[in-house]
Amino acid sequence: MEGTAVLGRLSWQVAEVVDVVEETPRVKTVRFEIPGWAGHRAGQHVDVRLTAEDGYQAQRSYSIASSPDGTQVELTVERLEDGEVSPYLTDVLRPGDQIELRGPIGGYFVWEPPQGGPLLLVAGGSGVAPLMAMIRLRAAVGSDADTRLLFSSRSWEDVIYREELERLEGGGLRVVHTLTRSPPAGWTGYARRVDAEILAEVGPGPTERPRVYVCGPTLFVETVAQALVQLGHEPHMVKTERFGPTGG
Amino acid sequence: MDALMLDGNAVAGLLQEVFAVEMTTAIETCNACGATNEVGALHVFRGAGIVMRCPHCDNALMTIAEGGARMWIGFAGVRTLQVTV
């Protein structure tokens, strides 16, 4: 599929909520059924559009967190206090509700199993969503590609997909957490923002030429991308997805 | 460093709406420094409109302004755009 153009204008479709799951106190995953959905690639996103009664529209992009699975997709949404769209998605939507979305969108920030590894995935908070789609796809196809996920969260309670990641670990997948605000008592893992030293320890190093995917708030991605290049990773091997000052 | 900066991915839906083809893997050449990059790697700034800049030299490559049923797209800083067809 890589390098193949996907022809066709995007059109808005109606998606129906089938499930809402609380991931952390501030993050929920919403599962949608989209009639006629032709599937997606790991790392792609959708645009979500909400229309108010007076016709006002607000639109946001959300990464698809699920691996390709028929006509269903999952979006993992962090609730932003002053957000226009995210509080509606996390607090108001119930199974049976409908919203408008279009997609799948993007081909740059995408991983396909035949590309193999090694993979270095670096996530800041809800930036883990498109990387989780890659990890889930990797597991679904039985790939043993060397994959490291370096995942930065505020606290242990804020770690999205924590139990699923614990289950999936092994068989070539290693998950390393860093907790930047309040690590639990007795925490022996990293407890600071991602820096060059952590990236060098988690590896794989530049000589192994890993494909690197970094997703999170803009300043997080900026810091990580600069540290990776400083360590010797080639810029074109480092793909980034920044989602602004506060996130999704 | 600008906390509001995004990547080409952030306008992928908008670009696909206009060009009817996946655009983040299109390859753009900057007319200022000659660097080639996938559109997904460009730096994107959103204000009253959208400005896409070269990640190598910061040259303003493309501008997009939306107004009602019309869209104004400028390619002032792009030498070529290579699209898979």
- Averaged over A94-118, what is the pLDDT? 96
User: Across the interface, do B6 and A243 touch by the CB < 8 Å criterion?
Assistant: yes
Closest chain A residue to B40, measured at CA: A108
State the pLDDT confidence band at A247, using cuts at 50, 70 and 90: very low
User: Across the interface, do A10 and B13 touch by the CB < 8 Å criterion?
Assistant: yes
- Averaged over A229-233, what is the pLDDT? 97
The reported pLDDT for the residue numbered B13 is 93
Mutation target to probe the A interface, by most A beta carbons within 10 A, among B2, B9, B19 is B9
State the pLDDT confidence band at A5, using cuts at 50, 70 and 90: very low
Domain A13-105 has CATH 3.40.640.10: no
User: Across the interface, do A241 and B7 touch by the CB < 8 Å criterion?
Assistant: yes
How far, CA to CA in Å, does B46 sit from each of A48, A117, A218, A244, B7? 18, 34, 13, 10, 11
CA distance A120 to A143: 15
User: Across the interface, do A242 and B8 touch by the CB < 8 Å criterion?
Assistant: no
Strand ranges (E), chain A? 13-24, 27-33, 45-51, 57-63, 72-78, 98-105, 119-124, 147-155, 173-182, 211-216, 238-242
| Residue A63 backbone phi and psi in degrees, to 5 | -70, 145
Mutation target to probe the B interface, by most B beta carbons within 10 A, among A10, A44, A108, A131 is A108
The reported pLDDT for the residue numbered B85 is 82
The reported pLDDT for the residue numbered A9 is 73
Which one of B5, B12, B17 has the shortest CB-CB distance to A106?
A: B12
Which one of A10, A107, A222 has the shortest CB-CB distance to B24?
A: A107
State the pLDDT confidence band at A87, using cuts at 50, 70 and 90: very high
The reported pLDDT for the residue numbered A69 is 86
Which residue intervals of chain A bear CATH 3.40.50.80? 113-242
Burial B40-54 (b: 16+ CB within 10 A, else e): bbbbbbeeeebbbbb
Residue A62 has pLDDT above 50, yes or no: yes
- Which ranges of A95-217 would DSSP assign to H, the alpha helix? 128-140, 162-168, 196-202
Which one of B4, B38, B85 has the shortest CB-CB distance to A108?
A: B38
Residue A1 has pLDDT above 80, yes or no: no
The reported pLDDT for the residue numbered A7 is 54
Contact A153/A179 with Cβ under 8 angstroms? yes
Residue A14's CB: how many other CB atoms inside 10 A? 12
Residues of chain B with Cβ-Cβ distance to A218 below 8 Å are 2-6
Residues of chain A with Cβ-Cβ distance to B16 below 8 Å are 9-10, 105
For residue A77, what are the β-bridge partners?
A28
State the pLDDT confidence band at B53, using cuts at 50, 70 and 90: very high
Domain ranges in chain B are 6-82
Give the strand order in the sheet containing B27-30: B36-38, B27-30, B78-82
Closest chain A residue to B13, measured at CA: A105
Reported ipTM: the value is 0.92
The reported pLDDT for the residue numbered B69 is 86
Which residue intervals of chain A bear CATH 2.40.30.10? 13-105
User: Across the interface, do A108 and B25 touch by the CB < 8 Å criterion?
Assistant: yes
CA distance A103 to A9: 10
Residue B57 or A1, more confident:
B57
Closest chain B residue to A213, measured at CA: B41
3.40.50.300, 3.90.1300.10, 3.30.700.30, 3.40.50.80: which CATH number matches A113-242? 3.40.50.80
Residue A4 has pLDDT above 60, yes or no: no
pLDDT, tens only, B3-23: 789 999 999 999 998 888 999
Taking all residues of chain B, what is their mean pLDDT, rounded to a whole number? 93
Taking all residues of chain A, what is their mean pLDDT, rounded to a whole number? 93
Contact A160/A23 with Cβ under 8 angstroms? yes
